[in-house]
Amino acid sequence: MTISKSNLSCWQKLLFLTAGGINLLILLFVFSIWRTGDRALDFVSNLFQISPIESKVDTSTLIVEKIRNIQELSTAVQTIETIVPTSAERKLGDFSLATTRLLYIARGEVRAGVDLSELTNSNIIVKPNSVVINLPPAKILDSKIDIDYSRVYDYNRGFLNLGPDIAPQLQTLAQKKTLVEIVNTACQEDILEQANTQAKEAIAQLLSSTGHQQIQVKTTPAVCGITEK
């Protein structure tokens, strides 16, 4: 099959017209850029510009980590002195032959505060100009006896020293009772309420540099576990 010269020339004309049309579009595009100036250039450059990745930081997480760095916030300490009696009997059947008594004078310390490791993101409410923090309830963090200021005041084995000679055991028992006694006393004197109040002030001061205009710290009512003596 042969293609005539007339058909070939038609195709050449068509290609010429197409190329001319493309060139005309390019010239019009360049001309429009020249007329519109910088705005057009900015538009074209923006088409091919890759937007930077915006990294978002959870503000509540940063606040939690900042507070957790303290771990335990010891905000109330009470020093308590108490007298604890202990005794043991020597029996013959149901009959008591003699009683050994030990009187222990003790000084102890009770420390209360807030365990900040229990704080989670759900405890933090962040608003545009304010932050609200709900603290975990205060609790007894530690109780101990000051051995340097505690002593056995009296040790008596009763009539003819017939009572059992168990001074070390009675002293150990007295120390255990002392820990219960000082915690009970601290609870009765509202040590946890004091710890909540002071923790509230301490956390508010700690977060005063975060840039929030309003910082509201809320405490959780705490129940002090008084142990039976």
Burial level of 81, CB count in 10 A (0-12/13-18/19+)?
middle
Helix, strand, or coil (residue 212): coil
Give the up-direction half-sphere exposure of residue 23: CA atoms within 13 A in the CB hemisphere. 6
- Four-point Cα dihedral 179, 158, 149, 79, nearest 10: 40
pLDDT tens for the chain, residues 1 to 229: 444 545 545 655 555 555 555 665 666 555 565 555 555 555 555 544 555 544 444 455 655 565 555 555 667 899 999 999 999 998 888 888 899 999 999 999 999 988 887 888 888 887 777 788 899 899 998 999 999 999 999 999 988 888 999 999 999 999 999 999 999 999 999 999 999 988 888 888 877 766 666 888 898 888 886 655 5
Collapsed DSSP state (helix, strand, coil) of residue 90: strand
In the chain, what is the greatest distance between 2 CA atoms, to the nearest angstrom? Answer: 147
pTM, 2 dp? 0.63
What would the DSSP string read from start to end of 8-45? HHHHHHHHHHHHHHHHHHHHHHHHHHHHHTHHHHHHHH
Dihedral angle at the C-alpha atoms of 175, 179, 182, 183, nearest 10 degrees? -170
Instruction: Provide the residue ranges of all domains of the chain, joining segments of one domain with +.
Output: 7-46, 59-218
